[in-house]
Amino acid sequence: MPDYLGIEFTPEEREQISKSIEDQLKHLQTIRSHHLDNGIPPALIFDPRLPTPVDMPAIAPINVSDIGQVQRPSNLEDAAFYPVTHLAQLVKSRQVTSVELTEMYLERLREYNLHLECVVTFTDDLAMTQAQQADEEIAAGHYRGPLHGIPWGAKDLLAVPGYPTTWGATPFKSQVIDRKATVVQRLEEAGAVLIAKLTLGALAYGDIWFDGVTKNPWDLSEGSSGSSAGSAASVAAGLVGFAIGTETYGSIVSPSTRCGVTGLRPTFGRVSRHGAMALCWSMDKIGPIARSVEDCAVVFNAIHGADGLDNHAISHPFRWNPDLDIHSLRIGYYKSAFEAERDNQANDDAVLEVLDDLGIDLIPIEMPEIDIQSLIIILVAEAAAAFDELTRHNLDDQMKWQDDDAWPNTFRRARYIPAVEYINANRIRTELMQAFAVLMEEVDVFVTPSFGKDVLLATNLTGHPAVVLPNGFTEKGTKTSISCVGGLFEDEKVLAVAKAYQDASDFHQQHPPLDF
């Protein structure tokens, strides 16, 4: 049946669109009812300069906490859950070779992937070449830093020449992109060893991908959440030293919460997205998922900065100080979010008690009073544009997940978002950014329930950095999380506050039994 948009939708697809378009109309009405002064521009900036590659600066040295001497365990597999800071000492001191670590993690990946469904592609040949090179360099006295020789996994929306980059979706399962994502290149230059491309929910949504559902290592009856599903699951299960994830609206925070690991969603623009799948150009961010806050700092130190290939990427100094006195910072808490009734409230409240015990005088703060749920159409419109051909050529029928909220129907529904409302939504976004600028004059960092009220959507729209880290368990024995949010380009401060809490707790040191 032809459509006035010039696209044919089947009767079944029209019925599915009509069921979900009512909510979209509510969002459009909210945007229309919001008074906008003529002087408010959209939160989109045109840059006439085309991308031009630049020489990337050498990775700056990074100071890490003094953890004393780390000894090789009698059974190397006992080191599988070690954080990067500990693995690095073993490799640097040559108690363990990179080849040994790589072989150990590859073996674990193959064993537990049968249960977790967290790997799309193993990269054994590349991994062994990189591990052997790392060992030769370290033996020759050329130590590149704490990621040298450390095995890691890439969310499979990062391009790696010679290997499929599937985006987790059936229409792209055989896709090979002949370029190297900047993040992959920078980690290669840091000496890290890529051992696998890890699962993501198809086109960066959820934990359902073309060949299965990635599982939570703490409970195989539930998915690992997404979309950085395999990245979080593999780190939690001790199958990689660290992983790279991405976030547009919760894709680092949500799976890190479910799997009980630590994730950094950096300030928007601090990490180049060149060679990464685009979902929403004005919201996509790349960040590390690891077993500790300091691991995230170490990985971020290696991947941040402009490359001239992503016009949104910005170079800004990152000065990690593991000994920063957090009493020098103004630390707030999202008061009404903590007071709201919700699951696992006691775990969140206990975080405030720990910070109080550390002598932190917490400052109550509140989010700006702007109805932002309607701004979700920004993400929806940009994502539908990114995958326009998927919809127009009916390739969306190949997608495994076809529910009302899944991408196929969402992309079709996006055809009914007027351009005027998309632009005005971005103007309201500007007001949100302005209000956040005022809020962040009160505090340097604030603590919040990870999914408290609208904080996750708001901070993804404004581009503020966040660290998500485990803070307890649910009644069924799976992990919960707390989040810290910081000022723009002050990622080191939010990491420092998160580290202070993590150092005073031990939830990050508790790992799933994996007794499948």
Amino acid at 347: N
Active site annotation includes 155: yes
Catalytic residue among 98, 225, 228, 251: 251
Half-sphere exposure of 275 (CA within 13 A, CB side): 24
251 assigned to active site: yes
Nearest CA to 148 among 220, 23, 241?
241
DSSP assignments along 45-67, one per residue? ----SPP---PPPPPPP------
Which of 101, 80, 83, 81 has its CA nearest to residue 91? Answer: 101
List the structure tokens of 468. 């998500």
Structure tokens at 140: 């020759």
Q: Is 281 exposed, middle or buried (0-12, 13-18, 19+ CB in 10 A)?
A: middle
Strand partners, 264: 467
- Which of the following is catalytic: 155, 215, 479, 499? 155
DSSP assignment of 448-514: EETT-TTHHHHHHHHT--EEEEEEEE-TTS-EEEEEEEE-TT-HHHHHHHHHHHHHT--GGG-----
Report how far residue 498's alpha carbon sits from residue 495's, in angstroms, rounded to the nearest whole number: 5
Cβ-in-10-Å burial (0-12, 13-18, 19+) of 510 comes to middle
Pairwise CA distance, residues 33 & 40, whole Å: 15
- Phi, psi of 398, deg, nearest 5: -80, -10
The one-letter amino acid at 386: A
285: tokens are 């961010």
Catalytic residue among 98, 224, 225, 227: 227
Q: Is 285 a catalytic residue?
A: no
| Contact (Cβ atoms closer than 8 angstroms) between residue 216 and residue 511 | no
Catalytic residue numbers, as ranges: 155, 227, 251
